[in-house]
Amino acid sequence: MRVFFKTFGCRSNIYDTEVMKDIIKADIVNNEKEADLIIVNSCTVTNFADRDLRRYINKWQNKKIILTGCASYTQGKKLFEDKKVKTVIGHKFKEKINDFLDKEGIFLGDFDFVNTHILKKFSKTKAFIKIQEGCDFECAYCIIPYVRGHSRSIDEKLILEEVKILSQNGISEFVLTGINMGSYGKEKGTNLSELVEKISKIRGVKRIRLGSLEPSQVDEKLMDLTQNGVLEKHLHIALQHTSDRMLRIMKRRNRVSTTLPLFEKLASKNIALGTDFIVGHPGESEEIWQEALENFKKYPLTHIHVFRYSPRDGTESAKMKQDVKGDIAKKRAKILEEIVIENSYNFRLKNKHLPLLVHVEENKDGYSYGYDEFYNKMKIKGNFQKGEWVRVKDYKVERDINVKE
């Protein structure tokens, strides 16, 4: 049997697909046309994600399709009843993928599981390491707790063993990920900082990157670890908004009075700071937007993912009056992005005297591209190997990238 894997969505899905590829007893092919079976690891975070999934599945109706991932819980029943897919499996059964290759039906299972399979290889220059599953937060706009379950941590011994094996097999950069990864260890009497410290001591580990954290999950030890030369000097801390009134509507737990001092403290340690921000959520009046904008300008942000709100069926926010027009949300997003672009330029200019360690990820037109320890992109003249580490100094700071000729 020839199988093609199609992955939508987040880093946790990318990791889960690597697990299924490692386990499956079939020939993995590189495109759909060669496949007898397509395994779709899906995302359902927005209605647009559902739309893209349906379009993809409709396109490949001449193939047998197994649906897994988050959309199994929101779209799986209808897609199966409409005979668009032959099998629907929940997250619980991804590590048992071989048991479902010839089955038909819906098999979702429960959420009382964690990953136990250890990857020994990864298809990229860096490896994603899943450390946690599920989320206990219940933000008004988010469907994820309902399709991933409660927060639970993967066993520390398994994580450390996986990093050791991957390191011995040539991987030197590790990106820790999870659905709400900052909650790692809370049910086990440990935490993310303790895990990061242990991973940083494993031979061959040159860089650790972290996925998105909640402000309350950043402790003093994690701040200190950014100074050890292994944990990246970049933290991505989700704010989602900078108006307390909007944060209450969103059912977020963070408030400006606590997050702004946190970001200022991190910036004083020369840590690059990223965030997520949602514009156009129901209730974002002009007055609330102006309040948020004035607060936003105070945050020393160098990276940002701005999302224009779109309703997600099944969430509290989708039931609210959709009172922000799309063109207004688009303008607001652009304003935030321009502020952060300027911040990033000034941050990189301030640090221009520092030699940077760049991990090469791609080559194009005689240049190599990769990221430094501040998660800033670097363009280097020459064709360095993917996965190579290059020490760079005397480079030029441009608006959206650093360049070494």
Domain boundaries, the chain: 2-107, 127-343, 356-404
Write the DSSP string, 251-287: T----HHHHHHHHHHHHHTT-EEEEEEEES-TT--HH
Residues 6 or more apart whose CB falls under 8 angstroms from that of 149 comprise 91, 110, 111, 112, 133, 134
Look at residue 169 and tell me whether its pLDDT is greater than 80: yes
CATH 3.40.50.12160 assigned to 2-107: yes
Quote the tokens at residue 95.
Answer: 């590590």
Strand 37-42 relative to strand 2-7, pairing: parallel
Q: Which residue has the tokens 């996965």?
A: 387
Calpha distance 38→291 (Å, rounded): 48
- Residue 122 pLDDT class (50, 70, 90 cuts): confident
Average pLDDT over residues 18-46: 96
CATH 3.80.30.20 given to domain 127-343: yes
Q: Whole-angstrom Cα distance, residue 341 to residue 378?
A: 15
CB distance 318 to 312 below 8 Å: yes
244 pLDDT above the threshold of 80: yes
Cα–Cα–Cα angle for 271, 272, 274, rounded to 5 degrees: 130
pTM of the model as a whole: 0.93
> Given pLDDT bands bounded at 50, 70 and 90, which one contains residue 67?
very high
Residue scoring higher pLDDT (123 or 301): 301
Q: Per-residue pLDDT tens for 357-372?
A: 999 999 999 999 999 9
- Report how far residue 345's alpha carbon sits from residue 396's, in angstroms, rounded to the nearest whole number: 11
Q: How confident is the model at residue 123 (pLDDT cuts 50, 70, 90)?
A: confident
Work out the average pLDDT over 90-117. Answer: 95
In the prediction, which pLDDT does 306 show?
Answer: 97
Residue 40 has pLDDT above 90, yes or no: yes
Closest CA relative to residue 379, chosen from 370, 392, 388, 387: 370
8 Å CB contact between 89 and 107: yes
What's the CA gap between 145 and 135, in Å, rounded?
5
| Structure confidence at residue 186 (pLDDT) | 92
Please answer whether residues 257 and 243 qualify as being in contact, where contact means their C-beta atoms are separated by less than 8 angstroms.
no
At 125 the pLDDT is 87
Element (H, E) at 127: strand 127-130
d(CA 127, CA 167): 9
Q: What is the pLDDT of residue 124?
A: 80
Mean pLDDT of the chain: 96
Task: Give pLDDT tens digits for 333-386.
Answer: 999 999 999 999 999 999 999 999 999 999 999 999 999 999 999 999 999 999
pLDDT value, residue 136: 94
Residue 246 confidence (pLDDT) above 80: yes
DSSP string, 332-363: HHHHHHHHHHHHHHHHHHHTTTS-EEEEEEEE
For 217, what's the count of Cα atoms within 13 Å in the CB-facing half-sphere?
Answer: 24
Site of tokens 């386990």: 23
Arithmetic mean of pLDDT, 281-302 = 98
- Say whether pLDDT at 389 is over 90: yes
- Under DSSP, is residue 163 helix (H, G, I), strand (E, B) or coil? helix
Q: Which amino acid is at 1?
A: M
* Rounded CA separation 275/277 (Å): 7
